[in-house]
Each structure stands twice: as C-alpha cells, then as structure tokens.
Amino acid sequence: MHEASLVSALVESLLDLKAREGAKKIVKFQVAMGELSGVDQEAFNMAYEALKGVVEELRDTRMEIIKIPARLRCEECQREFSGDYFSACPECGSYIKTILSGEELELREVELEV
Ligand SMILES: [Zn+2]
C-alpha cells in the first residue's frame, strides 16, 4: 500500500526530529495533503493508526491533516484557477498550465514536549 510507506517516512522524520530536539514526546503534528497528491486520506489514516499501535512514541500523538486545494495557472493567459491535471483554463480553454499548489505531502507544524 502506497499510503503505508508515506506514513512510515513521515513518522521516521518525526522520530528523527524528536531525537534531535531531545523531546519527551510528540504532542501533535500537521500533515499538509494536497488535493493532487494522489493520497487516499482514509488509507493514510488507517496506516497511521496501525503504526501508532506499534510505535510507542506515537501513543499520545495527535495527527492533523490539512487539505491543500489545487491551484493552477494558465500559461496562455496567466489566469489562476482550481481544478486538476485534466482541467482546461476557464478563461481561454488552454490545457497548458502550471501547478501552483496541491501536490504536496509534507510535515508542517510539529509540537513537541521537551
Ligand atoms: Zn487561459
């Protein structure tokens, strides 16, 4: 499962951070999840819960998922719009666009107890 490896990578960097800061526990962390990241949030949650059961450091940790909406910019007329990889520009109908946001999957704020 794709999501399981994403979750373990995230948790690994969390544990790294905790060790680096010499923290007692990880209180809370935020994951920015883009609309276009291709991550299934339910599967992601399930993978996290499963990992939580075996990683003692996560027992009292809260995970917060922040959905990042997709923003695209048309390369023809520079109009910004929301949509996905298959959307045409609502202004000029062009398919040539730049993804401004919505592809991210990353750790944001991490709250540690030191
Ligand atoms: Zn356009």
| Ion ligand 1 neighbours, Cβ < 5 Å | 74, 76-77, 79, 89, 91-92, 94
Mean pLDDT across 55-69: 95
Q: Residue 97: what pLDDT? A: 97
Q: Where are the beta strands (DSSP E) in 1-114?
A: 25-34, 62-68, 71-74, 80-81, 97-101, 105-113
> What is the overall mean pLDDT for the chain?
95
Whether residue 85 is predicted with pLDDT greater than 80 in this model: the reply is yes
Mean pLDDT across 39-61: 94
Owning domain of residue 107: 2-113
How far apart CA 98 and CA 85 sit, in angstroms, is 9
How far apart CA 108 and CA 96 sit, in angstroms, is 30
- CA 80 to ligand 1 centroid distance, Å: 8
Whether residue 1 is predicted with pLDDT greater than 80 in this model: the reply is no
Nearest partner of 38 among 72, 75, 85, judged by Cα: 85
The per-residue pLDDT for range 12-46, each reduced to its tens digit, is: 999 999 999 999 999 999 999 999 999 999 999 99
| Domain count along the chain | 1
Task: List the 25-34 sheet strands across, edge first.
Answer: 62-68, 25-34, 105-113
- CA 101 to ligand 1 centroid distance, Å: 17
Residue 83 belongs to domain with CATH number: 3.30.2320.80
The answer for residues whose C-beta is within 8 angstroms of residue 48's C-beta and 6 or more apart is: 7, 11, 63
- CA 44 to ligand 1 centroid distance, Å: 35
Which residue numbers belong to the known binding site for Ni(2+)? 2
Say if residues 14 and 110 touch (Cβ distance below 8 Å).
yes
